[in-house]
Every structure is written in structure tokens, then in C-alpha cells.
Amino acid sequence: RKEVEQDPGPFNVPEGATVAFNCTYSNSASQSFFWYRQDCRKEPKLLMSVYSSGNEDGRFTAQLNRASQYISLLIRDSKLSDSATYLCVVNGKGGNNRKLIWGLGTSLAVNP
Amino acid sequence: DGGITQSPKYLFRKEGQNVTLSCEQNLNHDAMYWYRQDPGQGLRLIYYSQIVNDFQKGDIAEGYSVSREKKESFPLTVTSAQKNPTAFYLCASSAWEDYGYTFGSGTRLTVV
């Protein structure tokens, strides 16, 4: 089992749609979880951290399910500019380990 | 504006050459990282540094070297020992207790 697994997609959705991505992780000791966004041939940019209680930032909602070891990202009212690859990121083994484990990403294309 | 700068954007290396990729940040971040990204693979950690004059190997350090003589700078040398250096190289930095990384815009290295 990969340490962090994501459905690669691509997800093709019309503008205004709601789309959800899931990500599973294998290390039950992981404490920190993130979603990054990466545009084609660009660097990743932090989209949001994922907290145990769930968190929302505008049209984006992130959830964490520790029991099932997955995190999710929900995008409401999709915009053309949301087209990108979304990377799920989890910290590595051990509470003080600074190594992040990166998923391969889920590709999203929002169509007019 | 604070940020992290990588140079050059594109770099071509001949077989057997060593090349050095520059990474400079003015965010006053303690930690700096070098990643490599290949098509179809997630980001893989090459080296990281938590403080000046100290650095640690990541998952794929063979064929690479780094230095951290100043807080602001973390150059990466791709040596001739690295057999498959063609990739997209990303430098990142973060505050010590923060996993929210800021990335540079990357260097695309091609062996010719």
C-alpha cells in the first residue's frame, strides 16, 4: 500500500459544479495533513491545512477522518481557475519527523 | 516582497558535469528543502536543512550535495554521480514548526 494514495483523475466538471477528492494515508501516527495545488509546470502552493474538526476556506472544505485514515477536499461552485492538480500531503513517521509524504495528485479540469 | 527564488529556470547539463542550482529565501525561515519531481511520481525529498551548517539526507540523496552556510541560501549540486538527473527541481522553505511550505518556481534540468 502506498503511503499516500489519491485517485489521479482526471476529473472533468462543468463550471459551478461541486467536486470532491479523497486521499488515504497508511501511517496512523501522522499528525499533519495538507492540500496543495499545483498548476501545470509550476510549483506547488499550499491550499489549506486539514484539521481534525474540519475546516473551510471560502469554496473549499477539508475534512479528516482519522479512524479510516483519509482526508477529503470539497470544492463548491467550481471556477475555470480551479483547474489544476491537487496534491494530498501527510507528515512522515513519528511526531517530530519533518518529512512530508506527497501524493501523486488528482487532476481537475473545470470546463466552460 | 518576501519569497523564495530559484535560478536558473532552465539548465542544460552535459554528461559528466556537475551543476549547481541556486535557492535563496528572504522569509527568515529556518528550514529549507530540495525536492525532485518526475512525471508520474510524487515529490521526492533530496536533502533538507533545519539550521545553518546542518543538513540531512532525504530519500534520494545519492548523486547530490548541498551546503547551508547562510540561513538564506541552500544551493544544490547535481554531481556526475547522479545517473538520471533530468527532472524538475523544487526548493522550499518553512518556519521551524510549520509544515506549510513555500516553494520556489523550480529549475528544469535537462541532460544533453
State whether A99 and B50 contact (CB < 8 Å): no
Interface of B to A at Cβ within 8 Å reads 31, 40-43, 45, 48, 50, 58-59, 88, 90, 99-106
pLDDT band at A96 (very low <50, low <70, confident <90, very high): very low
What own/partner pairs with CB < 8 Å and gap ≥ 24 does B60-64 have? Answer: B60/B36, B64/B34
Q: Is the pLDDT of residue B57 over 50?
A: yes
User: Which of A42, A45, A99 is facing B45, going by the closest CB pair?
Assistant: A99
Using CA coordinates, name the residue in chain A closest to B9. A42
> d(Cα B2, Cα B92) in Å, to the nearest integer?
13
Beta bridge partners of B12: B110
Is residue B6 pLDDT above 90, yes or no? yes
If DSSP codes are grouped into helix, strand and coil, which group holds residue A90? strand
Of A43, A98, A99, the CB nearest to B103: A43
The CA-based angle B29-B93-A70, given to 5 degrees, is 120
- Between A73-77, A92-96, B101-105, the lowest mean confidence (pLDDT) is in A92-96
Q: Which residues of A touch B102 (CB under 8 A)?
A: 46
